[in-house]
Structure 1
Amino acid sequence: MESKMSSAFKNGSSRSKPEGLSQPEYRRHLPAQNRILIESRNCWRLAHADRFAFLIDADAYFAALYEAVTRAQQCVMIVGWDFDRRINLLRDRRNGEYPVILGDLFMSVLSRRPELNIYILEWDYSIVYMFERELFARFRAIRSHPRLHFRLDGNHPLGGCHHQKIVVIDDALAFCGGIDLAQQRWDTRSHKPHDPRRLNPQGQLYPPYHDVQVAVDGAAAAALGELVRERWLRATSRRIPPAQPAAADPWPPDVIPDIREVEVGIARTEPAYRGRKEVREIETLYRDCILAARKYIYIENQYLTSTAVGDALAKRLREKDGPEIVIALPYRRIGWREEYTMGLLRGRIVRELQREDEYHRLRIYYPHVEGLEKGCKNIHSKLMVADDSLVRIGSANLNNRSMGLDTECDLAIEASGNLQVERAIRLLRDRLFADHLGLEAEEVQQTIESEGSLIGAVEKLRLRVTGFSVKPLSPHLPEWLEKVVPVKLLLDPERAFSLGNPVRAFLPDESRRVSSQFLVGTLIALLLIFSMAGISHWTLSSFGPLKAALAQSMVSLLQVPALSSLILAIYVLGSMLLIPITLLVFISALLFEPLHGFLYAFLGSHLAAMVLFVVGRWAGYDLLNRCAGNRLGRLRGRMQRGDIKAVLGVRFFPVAPFTLVSLVAGASRIHSRDFLLGTLAGMTPGIAATVFLVHWMKIIFREPGFAKYMLIFNLAALVVPVLLLIIHFRIHRVHAGRKTDQTSQE
C-alpha cells in the first residue's frame, strides 16, 4: 500500500487533466493506485461540489454564515462542540436588515420565514469546560421560539466528546472546519495585537486566534446534511425531514469560490458505542497522505500528540529522500491544565521527531506577534497541505482522541492532476504563510519558487521585520516533569476507558458489567480519600505556624452566623452547576470536624435536593428531556412508581447524578413528602459513611507507627464487608430488573 500511496502525488501532479473533463469525471478515469481519497478506506463519502471555498479565520466564516442564514428557506442545522448565541457575527462590517448577534439573527429569520426550522445540537459538555460556556444557554434557546430546536448530545463513550463543527443550510450549502459558533473565535487575517473588535461577550479582549473553515455546495453539502441528520436521530430519536430542492441559492454572494467542480472527501472519526462500529477514516487518511507526499507536508494544528501521526511523520523523516515537513503549532497551550498534560505530550512527540530528523527536513514553528504580552497567537486550525495536490481541513486535532474517541469530521480535496485545484491549494498555502509572516501571498510564492524549498523560503522570509513572524518551537517544559506524568494514553486516550477489566475475572459472568464498574469506582473513591487526607496532613504538618493559623481561622469562621448560610448556598449553587454532591460532602468532611461536617453535608444536600425538585416541577419533563437529550428515559422509568421506594432506590444506588435525579423527580410529579423522605433515607447513610471515613483518614495520618497500621486494619475490616454486601444487593437488583424486563417483553 505504501508504494501505491507514494506514487499518487508523484504521478498525479505531473499529468494534466484532459480538456473537456471536469475534475470528478477525470478522477473516475484515473487508476486506483493514483488516488488518495478512497471511499470505505479513508473517507466515508466522495461527493461532488459545484463550489468550494476556503474561509480563513472566523471573520470570513461568520460573515459568510450571516449571509447564508438570511437566505435560508427550510432548515439550518448546526452541530458543534460549543455554541454561544451572544456572538457578534459582523463586528464592524456593514450591517444589513438583520441583527448581527447570532441568537437575535435566528429569531429574526424565524419570524419572517414560517417554513424555516433551526436545529442546534451541542455537545453535552464536561464540567471541566463549564466556565468557558454560556451558562443556561439551553434553557434560553428552548424557551425562545417553537421552531428553534436545541438539544444536548451526550451520546458517546465515557471520556469522549462530540467535536464536529458543521452547519448545513437547506441541504444546498454547508460549512465544515475547526470553528465553533462560540465566543473568542472571531478574528481577522491581520491578527492585530490589540484589535478592539476582538472582544468576548463579557467585553474582555482576547489574544489573536487563527482557524480555517470550508464552504461547499451541491452533493457534498447534501452529504453533510445526511451526517448531521444521523447525529440528530441518535441524540433525540427524532428525524429531521430532508429539505426540498431550494428555490433560492443560499451561497453568500461575497464568497468567491476558490475551486469549481471538485470532488470532496468526507472523513470521520466515530467511536464504538452502543453497537455502532468504530470509524477511523481520519486517522487512515492522515497516514495515507503522509506516506504519499513527495515534496513537502505543511500542517497547522492545535495539538501534536497523536501516536499514529507522530509515527508516520518519523518514518518519512528517516527516509533519505523524504518530503520536507513544516508544522505550525501554538506556542503554549491555553491554561495550566492543558499546558501540563497535552503540553507535555506534545513535547515528547516534538523531541522524538527532532531525534529522527537526520536529514534536516523538519521545522516546527509557532506564530509570533510583536506587541503581544505573550508574543503569540492561538493556532486552532486543523489543516494539512501536501505537494499542492491534497488539502484537508476539519475538526480533528492531531491527538489520539481525535483519531478514535471523539466524533470528528474532515473535508479533503485531491488535485489528481487538475491544474485549477493545484493552483487553489498552492494559493491557500501561500496565503496562510503570508498571514503568519505579515507579507503578501505573491511574495511567499515567488520566494518558494526561487528557493526551491518550502523550509528555505520560510527561513528566509521569517527574518523580515514586519511585526509578524514564525519562530522555532522547542519543548519548553523540563524533561524531568515528563517522568512524573502518566502514560500518554491516560491523558490523551484514543479509545474509551474500561475500568472494569481488572476485576472482571473475579466476578460472575452474568453480573460482571455493573458490579465491576461499581467496585472499581468505589475503590477509586477510597483511594481519593486516602490521597487527599494524606496530602492535607503532609502539607499542614510541614508548616506548623500555617496549620495553627488555619485552625484558628476555622474556629473564627464557625462563630460567624453567615458562614452556615454561605455553605448551604454553595451546596445549592454547586448542584445546579452539576458539581458532584459526593465531592461537596467530601470537602465538608475534610474541612470541618465530624459533627459540623455531617451537619453541613446533611443540610446542604437536602436543601439542594429540594431546590432542584422545585426547578424540575416548574420546568416539566418535556423541557428537561430536551435539555438532557436521551439520558433521562431510564431514570424516569425508575421513578414511575412515584413513591418513597422509587426515590430511595435511586438515592441509595445512584444510577444518575444527584442533580438529574432531583430534577426528574420534580418533573415526574412525585409528592414532595415522598421525595424528601426518600432522599433522607437514601442519602443520610452515605453522608454519614463519608464523614466517618474521612475522619478516620485524618486520624490515621496523625497516628505514628503501629497504631496507624492497626487503624488501617480495623477500617478495612469494617469497610470491606459493607462493600461486598452492597455489591451483593446491587447484583441481586440488576438480575431482578433484567427478569422484569424479560417478562414484560414476553
Structure 2
Amino acid sequence: MMDEPVGTCARRDDLETDTLFEKGRNVWCVAHADRAAPLIDAGAYFGALREAMIRAEKTITIVGWDIDSQMRLVGEDGTVEDDLPETLAAFLSELVHRNEDLHVRLLLWDYSVIFSLERELAPRLRLFWTTPSRIDLCLDDEIPLGASQHQKIVVIDDKVAFSGGLDLTRRRWDNSTHKASDDRRVDPSGSTYAPFHDVQMVVDGEAAQRLGELVRERWLIATDETLEKPQADDTGAQDPWPPSLAPDFTDLPIAISRTVPSQHGSPAVTEVEKLWYDMVGRAQRLVYIENQYLTVQPFAEKLAQRMKEKPELQALIVVPETYPELLAKASMLEGRQRFMQVLRNADVADRVRLVYPRAEDDGVNVPIMVHAKVMVIDDTLLRIGSANLSNRSIGFDSECDLTIEARSDAERESLAHIRNRLIGEHVGIAPEVLQQELDAADGALFTALDALPETRRTLHPVRDEEIDIPMSLGPIGDPPEPLYDLKAAARAAPDPRWWPTIVRVCIAVGVIGLAILAWRHSPVSDPQKVGELFRSLSAHPWAPALVIGAFIGGGLVFFPVTVLILATVAVFGSWVGMLLAATGATLSAAATYLVGRGIGQRTLRRIVGPRISRVRHGISDHGIITIASIRLVPVAPFTLVNLVAGAARVRFFDYVIGTLLGLAPGLLTMTLLAQQVSQLINEPTAGRIALFAGLVVVWGAFLFALQFLVRRFRQAHS
C-alpha cells in the first residue's frame, strides 16, 4: 500500500499553520495545483475530459467503479465539435490510431453479480478484444470480499487529473438544466432515464502527479505490473488542460484523502472518514452536503454536537428521494432514517433540512437522481470525491476525495460562488441571486431559500420517517469494514486470506443444499431414472473418450474443471471416475499449455489482459514444486495457469508432474464429496446430510493445512 507519496507533497508557503489537513491522518497528501475547477454534472465533465484526452501525448489512465464502451462522451449540449467518434471505445481507439506514442489503460472493478443488470455485459469483450493493442483493460478484483473499487479517476500524462463521483458509463450524462424530459438522456440500449446530478473535479500540476501515483499503485495491486511514470517533456508538448474551461481556482494546495480497506495484513486507511469529522468541526454558519447516501451515525453525532456548540449553524443536505433497489432500500434507506433520528434526538433537527430536488417541464414532474459526493463548509472548505456518506465508504470500499481549503478572500469568494451554483441549480436561481438573498438574510441560508420565488426547480423535504422498513440489511449492504477480520487472520497464518475461503466454502455448501432441495422437488427427480441414466452413460463404449474430450474442450473455453470432476465421479463412480478425471484434467492442462506456448506471452496478454502478470510472477520458478503449489493454492483459474505456463515456457515434464501432484489432494476430496452428493440426491437422509457436512469440514481443514505448508515453503525459499 502506498503510504508516502514520492517527492514533496506541498510547498511550505502553501500551507497555513492552522490548516485543517493533517498528513497521514485525514489526508494522504496535500499537493499544489496551478489550476482547479469543479465540473458540475456529467455534460460539463465529459466535455472537458474529451478535450483533455484529445491533447494527451503519452498516457491516459482511467480507474472506475464502472466503464461502458458504448457510453457517449459528449459535452453539455449533447453533441461533439471535433471529428472523433462519440462513443468511448471508438473514441479511445481513434486516439491511439492517431498517436502512436499514446497508451490507454482502463482499470474496472470486477463487479459483483448484484450489479450485473446495471452494467455492460462482457466488458472485456467490448473494451479489450475489440480495441487496439495499446488500450489495456484490467478487471480489478484485488479487494476484500464484498467490497468495490469505487474510485473514479482519470489521469492524463500526469499533467491533468479528474476525480469525483462520475464514472464513464451509461445513464450519467445530463446538464445543469436537468429537464424533466430530455431526448438526449438515452442509454446505449435506447432507454431513457431520469435527470442525473453529479460533480467531478479537475486539477493539474503536482496534484495531478499525485493522483497519477495513486492510480499506478492501484494498477500494481490489481495486475502485479509496474507502470512507469510518464517522462516530462515540455519541448513542444501540449497543455492537456481543457482549452474551453476557465479554472475557478489558481495556485493553491489540493488535499487528497483516501479510503483503502484492510487487506493482506495491511491496516485500513480511513482518511476520508476523519476529514468528514474534522470539516464539521470547523463549521460556523452553514454545512452544505450533496450525497447519494447518508448512513454514518458518528457523522450525525458530530454534526449534532457542532450544532449545539454553534446555535446559528444550519445544514442543508441534498439526497435522492428514495432508492428503488431492494438492497439499498433495506440498508441505505434505513441508515438514513437512523441518521436523522440522531439529529432529532439531539433537538437540532429544526436546523437541518433533508431535501431532494425535482424538475418540472410541460406538466412532467420528476425527482432528480443525486449521485454527487460534495461537502461545503461555510465559504472555507470545498470537498468533491467518490466517497458516499455511508459506512461502506469509511473503511470497506476504495475511495478518493479532493478538498480545497480557501486561504484568501478571492478563494473564499470563488468557493462561495460554487456553493451557490450547486444550490441555485436545485432551485432554479442564478448564484448571484442566491448570494444577494444570503446577504439580505445575514448569511441565514434557510431564510434566503424561503425568500426565493418559485421556479420549475424545487427542493422537497424527504419523508423517510413515513416509510416502513420490515428488515434491516445494513450489515450486508452497508458494512463499515470487511466481513472478515484480516488482521486476526494475519496473526494466525502467513496468508490472511483464509477467512474468505471459509466464506466461499459455506456459500458452496448452501448452494449445493439448495440445488438438492430443488432437485428433490423437480418433476425429473426420480432416483431410479437418475441411476439408470448414470449407468447407461458409464456403460457406453465411447464414454471414457468422450469424458476426456470434454475435459480438453472445457479447458479451451475456460469451463470450471471442478464441475467436470464432480460430474465424472457421479457418472462413473468413485475410483474409476477419479482416474478418468485425473486423466482428463492432466490432458486438458497439457493441451492448454501447448496453446499458450504456441501463441506466446504477448498475444496471450492481449487476450487475457494485464492480470496475466500476476499469474506469470506466481510461476516464475519453473520447478515441479512451484507448479504443484500453484495447483494447491491457485493464483488464477485452471486454464489461465495452463496458458501462462505454456507462454512462459515452463519445462513440460516439470509442468505435468507438478500438475498431477497438485491436483491429487483436490481430486481425492472431490471424489469423496461427489459420492456423497450423488447419495444425497437419491436419498437425502439426515445421516447423509451430516456426513456430507462433516466431509466438507474435513476437506476445508485439509486444504487449509496444505495451503499453510505450501506458503511456509514459498516464504522460506523466496
Name the residue aligned to 1:212.
199
State whether structure 2 residue 222 is matched by structure 1 residue 239: no
State whether structure 2 residue 65 is matched by structure 1 residue 81: yes
- Cα drift, residue 672 of structure 1: 10
State whether structure 2 residue 86 is matched by structure 1 residue 100: yes
Residues 168 and 225, structure 1, Cα contact 8 Å, conserved in 2: yes
Q: Distance in 2 between matches of 1:142 and 1:26?
A: 49
Q: Distance in 1 between matches of 2:399 and 2:159?
A: 21
Name the residue aligned to 1:425.
415
- Cα drift, residue 60 of structure 1: 0.7
- Cα drift, residue 295 of structure 1: 0.6
Name the residue aligned to 1:382.
373
Q: 1:185 aligns with which of 153, 172, 175?
A: 172
Q: Distance in 1 between matches of 2:581 and 2:564?
A: 8
Q: Distance in 1 between matches of 2:147 and 2:557?
A: 20
3-state DSSP of counterpart to 2:413: helix
State whether structure 2 residue 35 is matched by structure 1 residue 44: no
State whether structure 2 residue 289 is matched by structure 1 residue 299: yes
Q: 2:388 aligns with which of 394, 397, 401?
A: 397
- Cα drift, residue 59 of structure 1: 0.6
- Cα drift, residue 135 of structure 1: 2.1
Distance 1:460 1:614, change over 3 A: farther
Name the residue aligned to 1:632.
615
Name the residue aligned to 1:20.
none
Q: Distance in 1 between matches of 2:340 and 2:681?
A: 43
Structure 1: give runs of 5+ residues left out of the alignment. 1-23, 506-511, 542-546, 562-567, 742-746
Q: Distance in 2 between matches of 1:136 and 1:612?
A: 24
- Cα drift, residue 271 of structure 1: 4.1
Q: 1:310 aligns with which of 275, 293, 300?
A: 300
Q: Distance in 1 between matches of 2:328 and 2:552?
A: 29
Structure 2: give runs of 5+ residues left out of the alignment. 1-10, 538-547
Amino acid at match of 2:644: V
State whether structure 2 residue 405 is matched by structure 1 residue 411: no
Q: Distance in 2 between matches of 1:256 and 1:396?
A: 26
3-state DSSP of counterpart to 1:360: helix
Residues 89 and 101, structure 1, Cα contact 8 Å, conserved in 2: yes
Amino acid at match of 2:373: K
Distance 1:219 1:335, change over 3 A: same
Distance 1:398 1:118, change over 3 A: farther
Alpha-carbon displacement from aligned partner over 1:453-508 (angstroms, at most 9, x marks no partner): 323444565x93526543324156534412xx4647x8423357326948977xxx
Amino acid at match of 1:636: I
- Cα drift, residue 289 of structure 1: 0.7
Alpha-carbon displacement from aligned partner over 1:183-202 (angstroms, at most 9, x marks no partner): 32221112223322222233
Residues 136 and 610, structure 2, Cα contact 8 Å, conserved in 1: no
Residues 347-746 of structure 1: pairs in structure 2 closer than 5 A:
347-358=337-348, 360-370=350-360, 375-416=366-407, 418-451=408-441, 452-458=443-449, 464=454, 466=456, 468-474=458-464, 478-482=468-472, 485=473, 487=475, 491-495=478-482, 497-498=484-485, 501=488, 512-514=493-495, 518=498, 524=503, 527-528=506-507, 531-532=510-511, 547=521, 595=571, 620-622=600-602, 623-624=604-605, 626-628=609-611, 630-637=613-620, 640-641=622-623, 650-651=630-631, 654-658=634-638, 660-665=640-645, 667-668=647-648, 678=660, 684-694=667-677, 703=685, 708=686, 710-711=687-688, 714-715=691-692, 724-741=701-718
State whether structure 2 residue 194 is matched by structure 1 residue 203: no
Q: Distance in 1 between matches of 2:557 and 2:293?
A: 29
- Cα drift, residue 213 of structure 1: 1.2
- Cα drift, residue 296 of structure 1: 1.2
Residues 569 and 581, structure 2, Cα contact 8 Å, conserved in 1: no
Amino acid at match of 1:390: L
Q: Distance in 1 between matches of 2:556 and 2:436?
A: 58
Q: 2:251 aligns with which of 261, 283, 296?
A: 261
Residues 104-143 of structure 1: pairs in structure 2 closer than 5 A:
104-114=90-100, 116-128=101-113, 129=115, 132-133=119-120, 135-137=122-124, 140-141=127-128
- Cα drift, residue 297 of structure 1: 0.6
Q: Distance in 2 between matches of 1:27 and 1:548?
A: 71
Q: Distance in 1 between matches of 2:413 and 2:275?
A: 22
3-state DSSP of counterpart to 1:470: strand
Q: Distance in 1 between matches of 2:309 and 2:233?
A: 52
Distance 1:263 1:718, change over 3 A: closer
Q: Distance in 1 between matches of 2:133 and 2:632?
A: 38
Amino acid at match of 1:314: A
Q: 1:282 aligns with which of 272, 280, 284?
A: 272
Distance 1:689 1:392, change over 3 A: same
User: Could you tell me the percent identity over the aligned residues?
Assistant: 32
- Cα drift, residue 636 of structure 1: 2.7
Distance 1:716 1:216, change over 3 A: closer
Residues 296 and 323, structure 1, Cα contact 8 Å, conserved in 2: yes
Q: Distance in 1 between matches of 2:381 and 2:112?
A: 38
Q: Distance in 1 between matches of 2:505 and 2:98?
A: 58
3-state DSSP of counterpart to 2:192: coil
Name the residue aligned to 1:57.
41
Residues 58 and 212, structure 1, Cα contact 8 Å, conserved in 2: yes
TM-score, with normalisation over the residues of structure 1?
0.75
Alpha-carbon displacement from aligned partner over 1:190-224 (angstroms, at most 9, x marks no partner): 22233222222333323322111122233333443
Please give the root-mean-square deviation of Cα atoms over the aligned residues, in Å.
Answer: 4.9
Q: Distance in 2 between matches of 1:370 and 1:575?
A: 56
3-state DSSP of counterpart to 1:345: helix
Amino acid at match of 1:117: L
| Matched positions, count | 677
- Cα drift, residue 355 of structure 1: 3.1
- Cα drift, residue 134 of structure 1: 5.6
Alpha-carbon displacement from aligned partner over 1:35-57 (angstroms, at most 9, x marks no partner): 32344443333333333222111
Distance 1:487 1:459, change over 3 A: farther
Q: Distance in 2 between matches of 1:199 and 1:632?
A: 40
Alpha-carbon displacement from aligned partner over 1:223-264 (angstroms, at most 9, x marks no partner): 433444444555522322332236433322321222333332
Name the residue aligned to 2:544.
none
Distance 1:665 1:477, change over 3 A: farther
- Cα drift, residue 325 of structure 1: 1.5
Alpha-carbon displacement from aligned partner over 1:656-703 (angstroms, at most 9, x marks no partner): 444544543554567999879959867654544444444566688x65
Q: Distance in 2 between matches of 1:223 and 1:472?
A: 39
Distance 1:719 1:632, change over 3 A: closer
Q: 1:90 aligns with which of 74, 82, 89?
A: 74
Name the residue aligned to 1:175.
162
Name the residue aligned to 2:320.
330
Residues 617 and 669, structure 1, Cα contact 8 Å, conserved in 2: yes
Name the residue aligned to 2:543.
none
3-state DSSP of counterpart to 1:393: strand
Amino acid at match of 2:74: L
Q: Distance in 2 between matches of 1:47 and 1:409?
A: 14
3-state DSSP of counterpart to 2:610: helix
Amino acid at match of 2:55: R
3-state DSSP of counterpart to 1:62: helix
- Cα drift, residue 65 of structure 1: 1.4
Distance 1:293 1:80, change over 3 A: same
TM-score, with normalisation over the residues of structure 2?
0.78
- Cα drift, residue 300 of structure 1: 0.9
Residues 375 and 382, structure 2, Cα contact 8 Å, conserved in 1: yes
Q: Distance in 2 between matches of 1:435 and 1:411?
A: 22
- Cα drift, residue 448 of structure 1: 3.7
- Cα drift, residue 575 of structure 1: 9.7
Amino acid at match of 1:95: E
Amino acid at match of 2:103: I
